[in-house]
Homo-oligomer: A and B are copies of this chain.
Amino acid sequence: MPKSPKRCEELRIEMRNKIIHESIRYFAKNGFSGTKISDLAKHIGIGQGTLYVYFESKEMLFQEIYKIINREEDIEQLKILTFLPLSAKDKIHKLSKRVLRQLEEDESFAAVVALNTQALLEQDKECSADGTTYQTKLYQYMVKIIEQGQMEGSVVNGNPLKLADYYWGVVYLYALKKLFTTKYELINSDDLERTLLKLAK
């Protein structure tokens, strides 16, 4: 009799995760058309054929990644923060600290941010504005915090959606830095907060 089906299943899941995990960073760095299957396979350390055992095509692998980077946990956490009984200034501080920590600790967070932002930028082309993407939801909660801050007088004036866009844009910048530069020096949390806050003397 052959290998136990159970063990086989385990191995499949393990390999599938390995491929996805390694591909996320590779795609984020090189883009879809900049990623050759031969290179990607070499980078993961598997044969080209193996990729096709787990995914129908390059396109499908990419789509699979897009499903995975829609991290509900992140959105949930921001939602909770949004409705906490805190000043907007405190919320922005907490959020900024958290985001920067994640950028530092979580190996693939930078790739997740980069891919999501790129998707948002290119969404304009495809006109698939269903408003339910990762970024779009992050924007919605951010707008709430910004509006609160504007009422409280701690956040600068201006279109809240534009300011939210600016804030997440700066996060995207540092995700790019982390992805591309070898010696990555973490941004200061203050710099990130300053995208929104009126700084008192």
Interface residues of A, Cβ cutoff 8 Å to B? 31-34, 121-122, 124-125, 156, 158-159, 162-163, 166, 169-170, 172-173, 176-177, 180-182, 185, 187-188, 190-191, 194-195, 198-201
Q: How far is the CA of A20 from the CA of B185 in the complex (A)?
A: 36
Residue of B nearest to A162 (CB): B185
Residues of the B chain whose Cβ atoms lie less than 8 Å from the Cβ of A163 = 191
B170 touches A173 (CB 8 A): yes
Q: How far is the CA of A194 from the CA of B191 in the complex (A)?
A: 9
Residues of the B chain whose Cβ atoms lie less than 8 Å from the Cβ of A177 = 121
Q: How far is the CA of A43 from the CA of B34 in the complex (A)?
A: 21
Beyond contacts A122-B180, A159-B185, A169-B173: 18 other A-B pairs, Cβ-Cβ < 8 A, are A33-B33, A34-B34, A121-B180, A121-B181, A124-B180, A125-B180, A156-B190, A156-B191, A156-B194, A158-B190, A158-B191, A162-B187, A162-B188, A166-B170, A170-B170, A170-B173, A194-B195, A198-B201
Answer whether A182 and B124 are a contact pair too, CB < 8 Å, given A173-B172, A191-B158. Answer: yes
Q: How far is the CA of A188 from the CA of B169 in the complex (A)?
A: 15
Q: Which listed residue (B31, B159, B169) contacts A33, Cβ 8 A?
A: B31
Q: How far is the CA of A34 from the CA of B177 in the complex (A)?
A: 21
The 10 A-B pairs at the shortest CB distance, nearest first, are namely: A169-B173, A121-B180, A33-B34, A200-B201, A199-B199, A33-B33, A124-B181, A201-B201, A124-B180, A194-B194
Answer whether A187 and B201 are a contact pair too, CB < 8 Å, given A33-B33, A194-B195. Answer: no
Enumerate 19 A-B pairs (CB-CB under 8 Å) in ascending A order.
A31-B31, A31-B33, A32-B34, A34-B34, A121-B180, A121-B181, A122-B180, A124-B181, A124-B182, A156-B191, A158-B191, A162-B187, A166-B173, A166-B191, A169-B173, A173-B173, A194-B195, A199-B199, A201-B201
